[in-house]
Each structure stands twice: as structure tokens, then as C-alpha cells.
């Protein structure tokens, strides 16, 4: 299980620009790592800090170990390059140090989270319980001298940069957004073509056609009503004429009888 998880993590980290990872003699449980600080505001910007990570066979239930190859003068780094950092401590609460389980290692942690925590620790040292007491005192009392020591460590770390390796910079890792060309003639041609149908959808057109048909039907109904009324008038007139003719005939008969 540990080998499978670590192989997936190794492949993922191999795509990152801020870390260089290699296997030690093809052993998935032993990694050669180099951290590169690409934050221009960091005191450690431009450094190439080599380290080794070793993983237990029951990873991720137990934490890995981490050790810088070239020790840094830092309050939380021992003279041998090992770290004093909560995320690498065994799981569970620790009453002696006051660390809670949430601060320490847990099986949900991964290599990337460890490395990012270490990078954060470099510029945000914890001086209350230092691994290097002298470095902690210097950081508190003489920050300018401490910065000089950091600059020395950064320059020394550059000796470990592999031949032909291109160091990432802040500028090289920032993605430049693609500019949109508003003056593209094809853009306006396409817009004109699309605008020919602007002003109504197919549904609107169908609705308009339906409305016209309804209006025509109403007009036809009105015409039919008028025709029927006209026919009714004609029939009425014819009946009146018949009645009038009948009355005339009766009068003529009466006159003849007299």
C-alpha cells in the first residue's frame, strides 16, 4: 500500500516547479528532494535546498523523516539538518509539548503538505521552543545579522544546483493571460452575420406567425358574420315582399267579389 501511494505522489510532485524529486537508488521509500523558494518576498528566495526523505513501510499511518543535506541556520533546524516541526511528529496529542493531534502527523497528510509546511516554516520560525537556540536568539535580538546568515545559506545552496538545471523564478512561474484581440476583422464579420437574426428567436417568430393567423381567422369570422347578416336581411326582405304580394292578391279578389 505504501509503495502505491508514494508512487502516485512522486509522479504528481515531479510535475511541480518548486520541488525537484528523485528516488535514491530506485527505492520508493527513500527520496532525494530539493526545495526551491519562488516567493520573491522570502529571505530564502533563489535557494536550492537539498534534503532527503525516508518513509516507513506503514506509510501513511506513520510520518516520514526529513533532513536537509546542507544544514540551515534556523531556529527550527538542528545542526545536523533535521527539523523540529509538528507535522512530522507521530500522531496523537502530546501533553509534554502541548501539541494537539490536529497539528501533528495524520494519515490524511501527504508529502506535498509536509514540504509546503517546511517552506512556510523557513520564513515563519517558531522561536518559543527552538531546535537551534542561538539562531532563535539572533532572530529576536539582531534580525539584520540573521538575514546575513540566511543570505550566506542561500548562496551556499546554489552550489548544489545540478549542471544544466534551470532554476525557476517568480516571473517564470506566473502565467501570462492571453490577450483578446478586439480589432480582429473576423470578429466583427461574425458578429454582423449573427446580428442578422437579432431581435427575436425562432419562438418569437412562431408566436408572431400564430398571432397573424389568429387575426386572419378573426377577420374571416367577421366577414362570415357580415355575409350571414346580409343573407338574413335579404331573406327578410323576400318574406316581406311575399307577404305584401299575398295581401294585394286578397284585396284584388275582394274587389272582384263586390
Q: What's the CATH class of domain 2-173?
A: alpha beta
Q: What are phi and psi of 221, to 5 degrees?
A: -65, -40
Cβ neighbours of 136 (radius 10 Å): 20
- Unique residue bearing C-alpha cell 511528529: 89
Q: Taking the model in full, what pTM does it have?
A: 0.66
Percent of the chain with pLDDT over 70: 67
Sign of CA dihedral 199, 203, 206, 210: negative
Whether 84 is catalytic is yes
Q: Is the pLDDT at 2 greater than 60, yes or no?
A: yes
Cβ neighbours of 132 (radius 10 Å): 21
d(Cα 222, Cα 126) in Å, to the nearest integer? 93
Band (pLDDT 50/70/90 cuts) for residue 186 is low
Q: Write out 170-188 in H/E/C secondary structure.
A: HHHHCCCCCCCCCCCHHHH
Write out the three cell numbers for 226: 357580415
Cβ neighbours of 24 (radius 10 Å): 13
Query: What is the arithmetic mean of pLDDT over 87-108?
Result: 85
60 upstream amide cis, omega within 30 of 0: yes
Largest CA distance in the chain: 158
- Unique residue bearing C-alpha cell 510535475: 15
pLDDT attached to residue 94? 79
191 or 20, which is more confident?
20
pLDDT attached to residue 129? 83
Domain spans in the chain, listed from the N-terminal domain onward: 2-173, 204-244
d(Cα 104, Cα 46) in Å, to the nearest integer? 29
One of 84, 111, 135, 139 is an active-site residue; which one?
Answer: 84
In contact, 47 and 36? CB cutoff 8 Å = yes
d(Cα 146, Cα 119) in Å, to the nearest integer? 17
Q: Is the pLDDT at 160 greater than 70, yes or no?
A: yes
Q: What is the DSSP letter of 29?
A: E
Band (pLDDT 50/70/90 cuts) for residue 120 is very high
Amino acid at each position: 500500500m505504501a509503495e502505491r501511494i508514494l508512487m502516485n505522489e512522486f509522479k504528481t510532485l515531479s510535475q511541480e516547479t518548486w520541488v525537484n524529486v528523485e528516488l535514491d537508488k530506485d527505492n520508493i521509500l527513500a527520496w532525494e528532494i530539493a526545495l526551491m523558494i519562488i516567493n520573491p518576498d522570502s529571505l530564502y528566495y533563489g535557494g536550492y535546498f537539498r534534503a532527503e526523505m525516508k518513509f516507513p513501510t506503514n506509510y501513511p499511518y506513520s510520518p516520514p523523516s526529513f533532513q536537509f543535506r546542507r544544514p540551515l541556520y534556523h531556529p527550527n533546524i538542528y545542526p545536523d539538518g533535521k527539523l523540529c516541526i509538528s507535522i512530522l511528529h507521530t500522531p496523537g496529542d502530546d501533553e509534554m509539548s502541548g501539541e494537539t493531534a490536529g497539528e501533528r502527523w495524520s494519515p490524511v497528510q501527504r508529502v506535498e503538505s509536509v514540504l509546503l509546511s517546511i517552506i512556510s516554516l523557513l520564513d515563519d520560525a517558531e522561536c518559543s521552543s527552538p531546535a537551534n537556540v542561538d539562531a532563535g536568539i539572533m532572530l529576536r535580538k539582531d534580525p539584520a545579522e540573521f538575514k546575513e546568515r540566511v543570505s550566506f545559506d542561500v548562496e551556499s545552496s546554489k552550489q548544489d544546483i545540478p549542471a544544466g538545471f534551470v532554476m525557476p523564478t517568480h516571473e517564470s512561474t506566473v502565467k501570462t493571460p492571453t490577450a483578446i484581440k478586439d480589432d480582429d476583422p473576423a470578429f466583427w464579420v461574425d458578429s454582423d452575420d449573427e446580428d442578422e437574426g437579432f431581435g427575436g428567436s425562432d419562438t418569437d417568430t412562431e408566436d408572431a406567425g400564430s398571432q397573424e393567423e389568429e387575426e386572419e381567422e378573426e377577420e374571416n369570422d367577421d366577414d362570415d358574420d357580415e355575409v350571414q347578416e346580409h343573407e338574413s336581411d335579404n331573406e327578410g326582405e323576400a318574406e316581406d315582399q311575399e307577404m305584401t304580394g299575398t295581401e294585394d292578391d286578397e284585396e284584388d279578389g275582394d274587389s272582384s267579389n263586390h
